[in-house]
């Protein structure tokens, strides 16, 4: 993965997996991942910076 790839905490993706175990029980797995920053396409992105993250840091 590139070191330039930025992840956005506001573009989270939650995935769930279900499967059967050997004892015929249902097992679940959850994965919570940050999505990639979409840069200029995002309405919170201005002048090379994410306005959402600036607002969070000001608190």
Domain regions of the chain by residue span:
7-58
- State pTM to two decimals: 0.45
Question: What's the mean per-residue pLDDT of the chain?
Answer: 81
Contacts of 17 (CB under 8 A, 6+ apart): 28, 29, 31
Confidence tier at 56 by pLDDT (50, 70, 90)? low
* Mean pLDDT calculated for residue range 20-39: 88
Tell me how far the alpha carbon of residue 59 is from its chain's centroid: 22
Q: Is residue 53 pLDDT above 80, yes or no?
A: no
Residue closest to 40 by CA, chosen among 31, 32, 49: 49
């Amino acid at each position: 993965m590139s070191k330039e790839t930025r992840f956005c905490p506001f573009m989270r993706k939650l995935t769930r997996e279900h499967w059967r175990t050997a004892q015929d029980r249902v097992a679940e797995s959850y994965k919570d991942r940050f999505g990639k920053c979409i840069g200029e396409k995002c309405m919170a992105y201005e002048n090379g910076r994410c306005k959402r993250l600036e607002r969070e840091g000001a608190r």
